[in-house]
């Protein structure tokens, strides 16, 4: 049978496509859905080109309260791995998302369901549960991402999980973790040196969100603007807090990037202390573009506030 030139071209193209299929299948990225930006950033550090990562929330959203929108349900349905905080942080929306996704492999208890808080020592674990006390988490405070030492623990566990769910690329994940761990250890040593002047400083929190940050830096939380976790402060509560601060002054008041800073700004104006907007997670400020930038910027803001306060007292 005679082959016309155009037929040879078609056969050549078909052959190239068929030859490319096994390679494409082998290189297909692991689809990862992270509940929060910090875990999306960490997964990207540990997975590189082997993973395709998206985050269910942004730094400007309250991670306690989001909606399981159809687009998010689709991402959960197609996910090969789910990486969340756990410790009840996502209890208001994650169970619904998991149910609606119909994705059996990312359900709680499965290898492809990863909860970061399971791998760290949690602080503020209540001795007894009393929901009248506000948004209290039975497993302890879930905001572990504000301490780089906790990030290091989660990174080790997450790398092991990536190696488990994508065993074909286990060696690459192990190599990426070794590289990240080395860079992270060096960064933590640098941050510890930079943060030395902050140790012992008295601070006020707008929300009970910074306990791990304070534990890392040795800061002393002397007051919280919210009368109960998740409850907005009333005028009378703020006035009472002002009276307390006269007896025990603070050097600054902290609030997260996703929060309305009006209560902190009110205290700043009336108590004469700086209000510090903390990025809280990756994307919370222009400088916090990744995990390293998150802690660089957090420390820069705290040190600047302290320096300004010290200068004002001279």
List, run by run, the mean pLDDT of 10-residue segments along the chain (314 residues).
46 44 58 98 98 97 90 97 97 96 98 98 81 65 97 98 98 98 98 98 95 98 88 85 88 96 93 96 98 98 88 52
**pLDDT given at position 4:** 46
**pLDDT given at position 12:** 43
**pLDDT given at position 17:** 44
pTM above 0.85, yes or no: yes
pLDDT digits (tens, 9 = 90+) for 262-277: 999 999 999 999 999 9
Q: H/E/C letters for each residue in the chain? A: CCCCHHHHHHHHHHHHHHHHHHHHHHHCCEEEEECCHHHHHHHHHHHHHHEEEEECCCCCCCCCCCCCCHHHHHHHHHCCEEEECCCCCCCCCHHHHHHHHCCHHHCCCCCCEEEHHHHCCCCCCCCCCCHHHCCCCCCCCCCHHHCHHHHHHHHHHHHHHHHHHCHHHHHHHHHHHHHHHHHHHHHHHHHHHHHHHHCCCEEEECCCCCHHHHHHHCCEEEEECCCCCCCCCCHHHHHHHHHHHHHCCCCEEEEECCCCCHHHHHHHHHHCCCEEEECCCCCCCCCCCCHHHHHHHHHHHHHHHHHHHHHHHC
Give the domains, in start order, of the chain with CATH numbers.
28-192 (3.40.50.1980), 196-313 (3.40.50.1980)
**pLDDT given at position 13:** 43
């Amino acid at each position: 049978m005679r082959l016309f030139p155009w037929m040879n071209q078609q056969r050549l193209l078909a052959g190239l496509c068929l030859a490319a299929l096994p390679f494409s299948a082998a290189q297909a990225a692991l689809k990862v859905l992270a509940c929060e930006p910090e875990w999306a950033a960490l997964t990207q550090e540990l997975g590189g080109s082997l993973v395709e990562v998206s985050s269910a929330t942004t730094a400007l959203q309250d991670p306690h309260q989001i909606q399981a929108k159809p687009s998010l349900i689709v991402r959960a349905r197609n996910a090969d791995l789910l990486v969340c905080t756990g410790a009840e942080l996502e209890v208001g929306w994650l169970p619904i998302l998991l149910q609606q996704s119909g994705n059996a492999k990312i359900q709680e208890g499965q290898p492809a369901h990863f909860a970061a808080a399971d791998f760290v020592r949690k602080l503020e674990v209540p001795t007894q549960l009393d929901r009248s006390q506000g948004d209290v988490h039975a497993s302890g405070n879930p905001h572990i991402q504000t301490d780089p030492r906790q990030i290091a623990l989660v990174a080790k566990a997450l790398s092991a999980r990536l190696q488990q769910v994508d065993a074909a690329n286990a060696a690459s994940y192990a190599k990426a973790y070794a590289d990240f761990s080395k860079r992270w250890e060096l960064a933590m040593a640098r941050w510890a040196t930079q943060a030395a002047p902050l140790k012992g400083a008295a601070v006020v929190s707008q929300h009970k969100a910074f306990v791990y940050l304070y534990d890392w830096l040795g800061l002393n939380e002397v007051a919280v603007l919210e009368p109960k976790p998740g409850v907005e402060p009333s005028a009378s509560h703020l006035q009472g807090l002002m009276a307390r601060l006269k007896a025990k002054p603070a050097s600054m008041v902290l609030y997260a990037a996703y929060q309305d800073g009006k209560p902190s700004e009110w205290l700043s104006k009336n108590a004469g202390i700086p209000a510090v907007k903390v990025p809280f997670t990756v994307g919370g400020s222009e400088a916090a573009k990744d995990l390293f930038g998150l802690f660089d910027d957090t420390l820069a803001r705290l040190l600047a506030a302290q320096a300004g306060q010290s200068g004002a007292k001279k």
